[in-house]
Chain A
Amino acid sequence: MTDNLLEVENLHTHFFTENGVIPSVNGVTFSIKKGEIIGIVGESGCGKSVTSLSILQLINKPGKIVEGEIRFHDKDLTTLSEKEIRKIRGNKISMIFQEPLTSLNPVFTIGHQISEAIRLHQKVDKKEAKQRSITLLSKVGMANPERQYHAFPHLLSGGMRQRVMIAMALSCNPELLIADEPTTALDVTIQKQILKLMKNLSSELNTSIILITHDLGVIAEMVDRVVVMYGGEIVEENDVYSLFENPKHPYTKGLLNSTPKIHQLKEKLQSIEGNVPTPDQLPSGCNFQNRCPFAMEKCREISPDLVASSDGSSVRCWLHQEKEVVNV
């Protein structure tokens, strides 16, 4: 078909709870090319993590993908059986989570855990797996990999644990790496090391990365293309340079204006009024209308569609739907 590695089309993931249906992800469509790094930004509850878990079919009850296709190499992941998806998960698509301590098993050495991932997907013996694990550990910048191979997770610092997670995720040379807030729990100095590592590995192995974060700084430094999510929907998508230079959706603008910048002197931060909505309390019409400074009558009634424009950007906003209206 195309040169897209992964295509997510009209994904709807809902959670069926006692208090009713919670539509966490509502019609998300995006794609990623080989070797590309895309960023998904948004605040808590916007559906960014649920989107990534949906890709790997890791949505458990009461959640369910109710609609949509996720094509990986033209194969729809939503139709695969558990056995088939296991061959892809951790092998061709792998994931790094936010909390490296809770995603590692405390009772096994890190070496054991990396070897396990290798032996699960590749036909190699124990010795070979150990060798590969040690190579991986040194590749992700662990000092003294032979010794660290036998270390238990609690002996390592947060940054080191995240390196182990990356080593494990890379163990089978995945084509796609999904990193869900990989550096949120880390200090800035360590964050810098980890991001640099991910970027180098991506260009070296031509791995595509979906980077999920709330930090616009990380987005600006890492990704090629940005998807902004709000209330379970994509509100804007653009290449990273255009998005920062000319944000179109009021939410994207608000997000940029409310980020304190280190290279600028004091200028009053503009904040977005109101609170981040949970998926069960979204307003009628446009999801953002009750916090939007430009909301019109129309916004309160009808939800706008995500409309692509000729310059390669798409935006979900009434202000941008009628032929270049006022430049707000």
Chain B
Amino acid sequence: MTQQVQVKQSTIKAPLLEVKELSKHFVVSTNLFGKPKESVKAVNEVNLLLEKGETLGIVGESGCGKSTMGNTILRLIEPTEGSIFFEGQDVLNMTRAQLQEMRKEVQMIFQDPFSSLNPRMRVFDIIAEPLRTHKVANGKELHRRVYELLDLVGLDQSQADRFPHQFSGGQRQRIGIARAIALNPKLIVCDEPVSALDVSIQAQILNLLLELKEKLQLTLIFIGHGIPAVKYISDRIAVMYLGEIVEMADKESLFSKTRHPYTQGLISAVPIPDPSLREVSEDVILEKDLPDQRNLPKGCSFYSRCPFATEKCKGEKPKLKANEEGHLVACHYPLHA
């Protein structure tokens, strides 16, 4: 693992975020003495490097740990092991004051715009809240900033006095975005920001995120299960399976030279909105569901569903390794080798 991190590190100038061997285990049951008996490894020894200004997409099926990872990076969930460095600072060993300071720089956009906005607060106050909490602005300056943010996300200033329920899903997501960019953050973790929206609105929000990214020089982590949307917005994509990154590469490379059988299955499962390709598209159907996460197979976690699995895969866990092009894969027998 450390080897590949070094490979990547030499190509990246200044990482904005570095995640090392990050794990989060949830204890499911304890024994008589309160010691953990069974635990689910939601995130398991994940390594990530995020360059300034890039968008990293994270895809995977539900339960693969992508949201847990997003939450852990913001320390909304305390990780079990590993370390996180934001601009070189160790996030996990920060004092409260330091953490507070860091949270200005790292923001989050949530999936459900219906439950992530306080129904009793007016839009103005929702967007103003981070500015007030961090004592960035008050009085006239606060008003100016909130109206500026409303403009940026494409909402009308006259809507500032309304409550969230008076808005549609797409508009609510815009409010959530305005709140997230209020403090001029460097990194935004977007946890499935378009999954709950209608198709015609999804495109609006994706384009808004792209536009804001350019304008405000943001770095994004875009978590999603809708692969086309993640592909549209990301520069680099990490594929997660059962808490681990099984493949990570530039977007073009990931789709044209897919190396992990799981990624291949995932991509081929995406319905293509073009009926003329119905017969042409080859199917790699992933049989079965995700295995029980309490007792994962000892070897490769994908062993039970992989069409190419051998004895080696059953016994030995493949490590995430890069090829010459920096395309990372955790598989003993990668495709396109």
Contacts and interface: CB of A to CB of B under 8 A. Distances in A.
A297 interface: no
A187 B62 CA distance: 7
Nearest to A156: B289
Nearest to A190: B289
Interface of B: 61-62, 168-171, 198-204, 206-207, 225-229, 231-232, 252, 255, 265-278, 283, 285-287, 289-290
20 contacts: A44-B169, A158-B62, A160-B289, A187-B61, A188-B61, A191-B269, A192-B268, A215-B199, A217-B271, A220-B274, A221-B275, A244-B275, A256-B273, A258-B204, A260-B226, A260-B228, A261-B274, A271-B207, A275-B168, A276-B170
Contacts of B207: 268-269, 271
A258 B202 contact: yes
Contact of B276 (A193, A217, A241): A241
A255 interface: yes
Contact of A192 (B171, B199, B269): B269
Interface in A1-59: 43-44
Contacts of A188: 61, 225, 227, 266, 269-271
Interface string A304-327: 000000000000000000000000
Contacts of A218: 271
A161 B127 CA distance: 40
Contact of A254 (B200, B278, B286): B200
A270 interface: yes
Nearest to A241: B275
B61 A262 contact: no
A216 interface: yes
A190 B225 CA distance: 12
10 shortest A-B CB distances, which residue pairs? A217-B271, A258-B203, A271-B203, A260-B228, A272-B200, A43-B198, A192-B269, A187-B61, A271-B204, A216-B273
B265 A189 contact: yes
Contacts of B269: 188-189, 191-192
Nearest to A271: B203
B273 A261 contact: yes
B268 to A, nearest CB: 8
B232 A266 contact: yes
